Chains A and B, each alone.
Chain A
Amino acid sequence: MAEQKRPSIAEILAAARAQKKTGETPASEISSDAAPLSGAPIDSVTLPEDASTSVEVSDNQSLAPSKKAAAAGPVTQAPTGSRPSVADILAMSRAKKAAGEDAPAKTPAPKSPAAASKGVASKPASAKPVATAKPTAMPRDTESILSQARSGTKPGPMSKADAPQKIVAPKPVVTAQRSSDPSKGAPTPRTVPPMPIKPVKSTAKADASATEDRRGFLSFAAGSFMAIGFTSLSITTGLFTLGLARFMFPNVLAEPPSRFKVGSKEGFPPGKVETKYVAQFGVWVVNSEFQGVQQVYALKTVCTHLGCTPNWLEAEQKFKCPCHGSGFYKDGVNFEGPAPRPLERYAIRLADDGQLEINKSKTFHEELGQWSDPESYIVS
């Protein structure tokens, strides 16, 4: 089976030569699409006489032929320009062979359509750059499209399915020409690949200028929708930002003031730890002795270990943190548990009306020697 199908090198070469004779223009049209080489000149179609190409081709024709050709191409083909694809050559040679064997009905070798279509399918992708760069393809396509447009059928871009039927009119002619070649006995069953759609697209753009008015209206309408959308979006965002800015300056501040008065000094007799300001202000007002001086000071109710609120234990005369057991003396100095430093003091002063005023915006650290600051206590 395989041997029967496989054409000899001589046959392939003969077919190629016959192809060359059939005329330059149609051949070049086909081969230009098929040629995997970019930038190859198109006018003359000569098959390379080099043996390496043909040997390789005949070696294994069931592989995608264009691939093979591409592999062999760069070595041998540079000067010769485009040529019929290997698939074409194979199809032709098979047809010839079949004709020679006088079996017209059963001619199509079972594999050849598959191989051909395979080759074709892989072609457009590799041919695309060629097709767009090539000047000869343009006039033909433009022409056909223009004629199409003039005849009044379906202007504008068309679907891929429509494209081969409506535009690539010359194609079937070419195949017919080729298949009705005098040197071949029977018509090839080979299907002609649809033209690449690329040129159609590019011309469709040029064509759009003809119907610019209607398109323009559409784009204008769409553009204005976008404009409306973005305008409303920016207005909303702006209003939201303004609202947010307003939110940052509330009329009423829920948190207690950082400066507040706790009554006169007489309310804090020596030894007293006042806990009634803890819930609202987070402060203990203590009258105690520190380094030999009897003083009134405000301790911050935040444990210096991890920030829990310690409790004042009257019976034990200490502040005790419930989280990790840190303990502080009445003067705020740490003595047990993990707290690394004494409690902090808030600023305290005697206001003009004789009351004590505590300012929470300022703290004093013992370990930094700030407790000697006169702002941090009042001598009682």
Chain B
Amino acid sequence: MHSNGLFLQDVSGFLGVYYTSIALMNGVAAVLLWRNSQQKGGFLWSVIWAITACVMLVLASFALSGVAEMVPALPAVVRDIVNKLSGPVIYTVGTMVMLTVLFVFREFFVKPMVAWTGLNISLIVMGLSMADENFASIVMKADNVPIVGLVFMLAFFTWLATSQAVVNDRRIAQGLPPTEKLHDEKVLVWPDLVYTELICMIAVSAFLLLWAIYLRAPLEEPASSVKTPNPSKAPWYFLGLQEMLVYFDPWYAGVVLPSLVIFGLMAIPYLDFNKKGNGYYSISERKFSYIVFQFGFLELWITLIILGTFLRGPNWNFFGPFEYWSPYKVAVLNNVDLPQMFWVGLLDQPLPKSPAGSSGLMQAGYILLRESPGLILLGSYLVLLPPLLAVTVFRSFYSKMGLIRYLVMSNLMLLMLSLPLKMILRWTVNLKYLVSIPEFGLNF
């Protein structure tokens, strides 16, 4: 951008403070580790964090110099490569792979020093990226700041829970009770809990007040039924839904799936037959529940929110993190319905169409014939797959849950998986809808 130099001068103050905070953070970590240096490797780590703090201070001084060339930034080549590589497919598959790796090697990643290293790396990459105008304009938008906070907070709390679960799993493997059982002293609601809540309430209110004063709420022009802002984004917590709507009809992605999310969450206590893991963190004792929940929450909800917030630009096109949000970006997104693929593409004949002037019943018959491939596919997915799974993968589940509970569970799971499956079908074969009956506004 032509104003890059000006922008860098603007952002340099912020980056200086940012790097100084990282330096401070690492300095405190080094001091604390130094004090407890009787721990194994404590001395070495404290030296490493002290060095990191010094490097951060150097970066901070570069940033604070205010000279555009001195502000630390990612090289343009790296940014270009990242932009080229990023797309919905890479993003979704990448997050999936990353979460899987984090899960599989959780024993390694929950180590405090490893987690601290990860935090440092992400903060530094963030700071280096912030020197890019396009990146900064999205990330520092008042709307999006909470999402940045969300990413870090979520990572922290997931790490915290996972590390406790890993410790518990280790103890359970040794035949010891989980750590939560060691000190499960009772605490009174009044005054202990109520006071804590009161203090938290006051602190959070004060924080929100200051935030609202410092980062002003972005007001837009008055609403108009004939003008839609471009891009038009839902509130951040609904961006996952908005991303789902790219792949589905409104009634399904906007009504059926959200209701299923709520009802599915409500059904969990009734579907869960695993008595273990009550009141303490554990992954090995509740592997299935843990994986299903984290997949639904982290992959199908949070990553979609992040995608919708940072990577979806004008016309709901996908933009790389360092890409300029041009409303004229051309993306080829042509897609076709399954009947079109089947009748025209595969059988090389026109779509079945009722002759002009035929009765309503006749028309319905022709529509059913036209949509038969999709209906058969969907029917077998939802009707044939559960019994098939019951005799193969979920054999023990079926015997423990009984017919009704098993059917509810399997169908909820299949409907949840319909989202990623539909995404994959859209990316690979440009499929729009499996069943498309626009005559009745019914599409799947």
Q: Cβ of B328 < 8 Å from any Cβ of A?
A: yes
Are B330 and A322 in contact, CB atoms less than 8 angstroms apart?
no
Q: Cβ of A301 < 8 Å from any Cβ of B?
A: yes
CA distance A369 to B247 in the complex (A): 26
Are B334 and A336 in contact, CB atoms less than 8 angstroms apart?
yes
Are A315 and B328 in contact, CB atoms less than 8 angstroms apart?
yes
Closest to B248 in A: A338
Q: Which of A208-231 contact B (CB under 8 A)?
A: none
Q: Cβ of B250 < 8 Å from any Cβ of A?
A: yes
Closest to B250 in A: A306
Q: A325-B246, A338-B247 are in contact. Are A309 and B315 (CB under 8 A)?
A: no
Minimum Cβ distance to chain A for residue B247 (Å): 7
Are A309 and B335 in contact, CB atoms less than 8 angstroms apart?
no
Are A325 and B333 in contact, CB atoms less than 8 angstroms apart?
yes
Interface of A is mostly: loop
Minimum Cβ distance to chain A for residue B222 (Å): 13
Chain B contacts for A341, CB-based, 8 A: 438
Chain A contacts for B230, CB-based, 8 A: 311, 322
Write 15 A-B pairs (CB below 8 A) sorted by A numbering.
A279-B224, A282-B226, A309-B225, A309-B227, A313-B315, A313-B328, A323-B231, A324-B245, A324-B316, A325-B316, A335-B334, A338-B246, A340-B432, A340-B436, A341-B438
Q: Cβ of B317 < 8 Å from any Cβ of A?
A: yes
- Known interface pairs A309-B226, A322-B316, A340-B249; 9 further A-B residue pairs with C-beta atoms within 8 A, sorted by A's residue number: A279-B224, A301-B226, A305-B249, A311-B315, A322-B229, A325-B246, A338-B246, A340-B433, A368-B439
CA distance A324 to B228 in the complex (A): 12
CA distance A184 to B250 in the complex (A): 95
Chain A contacts for B327, CB-based, 8 A: 311
Q: Which of A304-350 contact B (CB under 8 A)?
A: 305-306, 308-311, 313, 315-316, 320-325, 327, 335-338, 340-341
Are A323 and B232 in contact, CB atoms less than 8 angstroms apart?
yes
CA distance A309 to B229 in the complex (A): 9
CA distance A316 to B317 in the complex (A): 14
B 299-322 binary contact with A (CB < 8 Å = 1; else 0): 000000000000000111100000
Closest to A301 in B: B226
A 287-309 binary contact with B (CB < 8 Å = 1; else 0): 00000000000000100011011
Chain B contacts for A109, CB-based, 8 A: none
Q: Cβ of A367 < 8 Å from any Cβ of B?
A: yes
Q: Cβ of B164 < 8 Å from any Cβ of A?
A: no
CA distance A369 to B226 in the complex (A): 26
Q: Which of B206-243 contact A (CB under 8 A)?
A: 224-232, 242
Chain B contacts for A323, CB-based, 8 A: 228, 231-232, 242, 245, 316
Q: Cβ of A278 < 8 Å from any Cβ of B?
A: yes
Are B316 and A336 in contact, CB atoms less than 8 angstroms apart?
no
Minimum Cβ distance to chain B for residue A280 (Å): 8
CA distance A311 to B242 in the complex (A): 19
Q: Cβ of B254 < 8 Å from any Cβ of A?
A: yes
Minimum Cβ distance to chain B for residue A266 (Å): 26
Q: Cβ of B443 < 8 Å from any Cβ of A?
A: yes
Q: A313-B328, A337-B333 are in contact. Are A322 and B245 (CB under 8 A)?
A: no
Closest to A322 in B: B230
Are B436 and A309 in contact, CB atoms less than 8 angstroms apart?
no
Chain A contacts for B317, CB-based, 8 A: 325
CA distance A341 to B250 in the complex (A): 13
Q: Which of B84-111 contact A (CB under 8 A)?
A: none
Among A316, A323, A369: residue with most chain B CB under 10 A: A323
Which A residues fall within an 8 A CB radius of B? 278-280, 282, 301, 305-306, 308-311, 313, 315-316, 320-325, 327, 335-338, 340-341, 367-369
Q: Which of A311, A324, A336 contacts B335 (CB 8 A)?
A: A336
Chain A contacts for B330, CB-based, 8 A: 315-316
Are B314 and A322 in contact, CB atoms less than 8 angstroms apart?
yes
CA distance A89 to B245 in the complex (A): 86
Among A301, A321, A322, A367: residue with most chain B CB under 10 A: A322
Q: Cβ of B441 < 8 Å from any Cβ of A?
A: yes
Are A282 and B225 in contact, CB atoms less than 8 angstroms apart?
yes
Are A306 and B438 in contact, CB atoms less than 8 angstroms apart?
no
Are B232 and A327 in contact, CB atoms less than 8 angstroms apart?
no
Chain A contacts for B242, CB-based, 8 A: 323-324
Are B328 and A367 in contact, CB atoms less than 8 angstroms apart?
no
Among B229, B246, B433: residue with most chain A CB under 10 A: B246
Closest to B318 in A: A325
Q: Which of B233-280 contact A (CB under 8 A)?
A: 242, 245-250, 254
Closest to A369 in B: B356
Closest to B312 in A: A325
Q: A301-B226, A313-B328, A315-B328 are in contact. Are A340 and B315 (CB under 8 A)?
A: no
Among B245, B356, B439: residue with most chain A CB under 10 A: B245
Closest to B332 in A: A336
CA distance A266 to B330 in the complex (A): 32
Are B229 and A367 in contact, CB atoms less than 8 angstroms apart?
no
Q: Which of B228, B249, B443 contacts A322 (CB 8 A)?
A: B228
CA distance A280 to B225 in the complex (A): 10
CA distance A279 to B227 in the complex (A): 7
Closest to B242 in A: A324
CA distance A368 to B248 in the complex (A): 21
Closest to B233 in A: A323
Are B441 and A338 in contact, CB atoms less than 8 angstroms apart?
no
Chain A contacts for B441, CB-based, 8 A: 340
Minimum Cβ distance to chain A for residue B436 (Å): 6
- Report the 4 A-B pairs with minimum CB-CB distance, sorted nearest first: A325-B316, A341-B438, A322-B230, A336-B333
CA distance A179 to B249 in the complex (A): 93
Chain A contacts for B227, CB-based, 8 A: 278-279, 309
Q: A337-B246, A340-B438 are in contact. Are A322 and B231 (CB under 8 A)?
A: yes
